[in-house]
Amino acid sequence: MQTDSSFTFVLFGGTGDLSMRKILPALYEAHRAGMLADSGKIVGVARHEADRAGYIEWVNGHVKPYVSKDGLDEAVWERFLARIEYVKLDLSKAEDFVLLRDAVNKLSGTRVFYLATGPSLFVPICHALASVGLNENARIVLEKPLGYDLQSSNAINDAVGEIFAEEQIYRIDHYLGKEPVQNLLALRFGNALFEPLWRREWVESIQITIAEELGVEARGDFYDNTGALRDMVQNHLLQLLSIVAMEPPHSMDSDSVRDEKLRVLRALKPIDPRDIQRVAVRGQYHAGVIRGTAVPAYATEPGVKKDSTTETFVALKVEIENWRWAGVPFFLRTGKRLADRVAEIVVNFRPVPHSALGPTALRPGANRLVIRLQPNETIRLYCLAKQPGEGMNLASVHLDLAFDQFFRENQMEAYQRLLLDVINGRLALFVRRDEQEAAWRWVEPILNDWAAANKAPKPYAAGTWGPAAASAMLAQHGTCWLEEEN
């Protein structure tokens, strides 16, 4: 389905890594699928010394490797490149924004300004856009991280909010655009099967994991001043938790969905500083081996301080203080240089109260739902069935919800879906300011405690699943991480 109308998509940071790997490939896939209005234009903006021909050459060299897994159609690619314009812009020069205004005014349709830049540039760019009248009838997309803490986040939001109304601001979290997250909403709120079970009476625990094999790569300077709690928990993990735990919305319009997510974030049980050591584990990777390749310790990575106490791993036990989830532990985990690249949500249902079929039916985790977000996007329901042969012997089996086999259409990548939502003015999958504030407010006591303690994180070898303390935290509740059970 094609976008509703024409558009002008202005991409700040137009030569940057995010633009090359994610944003322009996503726009190309939307173009290839016929989902962009024919008159829609893309304007790359950067300090790169180039004209349009030079920018197209740059895009050819840097974007092609990330598009079309099933092969690049050169004719389609050339038509996509025809959409692209380029404006060289120095943020310190007001006259460059006049040039940008003149270029944009020649184009038609909804105006989208995507800030694929560092957060320190968000406010200056917004002020400069307003100075030339480009903030009117426009939408602005803000990448994470939006601030370093609650105070800095509020400062950015206050400044941007003076220039753009809340309904013009799209705070992007690409995990919310992933197909399994969308299907989680469909499973919960489109079927009578799951909703009666989606509560404390039938759910024993829930795990949410985002694990990476990669280290900090070339982002050592940035990461050493950020850490895993700010980089992943405050946004991605808490957003996924709110989707899992939210009440059924009145409708799927943007405010109905985000109102319910906000209620979850506000119901998070505050962590008492005296309990932080018991419910929060922080770690830092040391040298190790991943898939046969030796990798260095975090403290020896370029840009990282040798005595750094920045965490590269976090595991948390979280509780939600409401009637649906009281007493159900949510275990959140994220880390770098772990044993595998995986993002998944694991819903462990309670075992049957009594089994006439032996102890297997009483085993924790015998019934569970596993929503895999990456690397392959699947939803799998585990249950028990009789093994063939004599006797009543039970074994774990699973039902695969293989959407790629049932639906012949290609699945959208997260950025593709979210960019189309921006162009079409759909806000449901973007983070509202009050959600962001609630998340920061809950995270801050942990940040403050760790900063005050100034202790070294628990070490773990690269290529493992993190510090042993993360497993011990779950063992106290009679459970374990999914990969440990297997």
Tokens representing residue 81 in the block: 């490149």
Residue 212 assigned ligand-binding role: yes
Residue among 410, 414, 321 nearest 26 (CA): 414
Task: Tell me how far apart the alpha carbons of residues 320 and 316 are, in angstroms, rounded to a whole number.
Answer: 13
Q: Which of 370, 120, 75 is nearest to 221 (CA)?
A: 120
In whole angstroms, what is the distance from residue 174 CA to residue 239 CA?
A: 10
What are the structure tokens assigned to 139, written together?
Answer: 């939408």
Distance in angstroms (rounded) separating the CA atoms of residues 370 and 382 = 8
> DSSP string spanning 366-421?
SSEEEEEEESS-EEEEEEEEEPSSSS--EEEEEEEE-HHHH--SPPPPHHHHHHHH
Does 381 count as an annotated binding residue? no
Does 88 appear as a known binding residue?
A: no
| CB atoms near residue 352 (< 10 Å) | 13
Tokens (6 digits) for 301: 């990575």
Phi, psi dihedral angles at 389 (to 5 degrees):
115, -170
Q: How far is CA 416 from CA 28, 61, 73, 178, 431, in A?
A: 9, 21, 18, 10, 17
- How far CA 202 is from CA of 167, 218, 351, 395, in Å, comes to 38, 45, 8, 21
Is 236 in the active site? yes
Longest dimension (CA), the chain: 83
Burial 173-188 (b: 16+ CB within 10 A, else e): bbbbbbbbbbbbbebb
User: 321 among the known binding-site residues?
Assistant: no
The two structure tokens encoding residue 286: 């040391």
Question: 317 a known binding residue?
Answer: no
N-to-C CA span, the chain: 42
Interatomic CA distance for residues 317 and 472, integer angstroms: 12
The single residue of 48, 62, 236, 354 carrying the catalytic annotation is 236
22 is in an annotated binding site: no
Sign of CA dihedral 176, 180, 182, 185: negative
Instruction: Confirm or deny that 64 is annotated as ligand binding.
Output: no
Q: Give the 3-state secondary structure of 195-234.
A: HHHCCCCCEEEEEEEEECCCCCCCCHHHHHCCHHHHHHHH
Separation between Cα atoms, residue 419 and residue 425, nearest integer Å: 10
- Give the list of residues 6+ apart from residue 274 with CB closer than 8 angstroms, or none: none
Can you say which residues are annotated as belonging to the binding site for substrate?
174, 178, 212, 231, 336
Q: Which residues are tagged catalytic?
A: 236
For the annotated binding site, the residues are 47, 90-91, 144, 174, 178, 212, 231, 336
Residues making up the annotated binding site for NADP(+) are 47, 90-91, 144
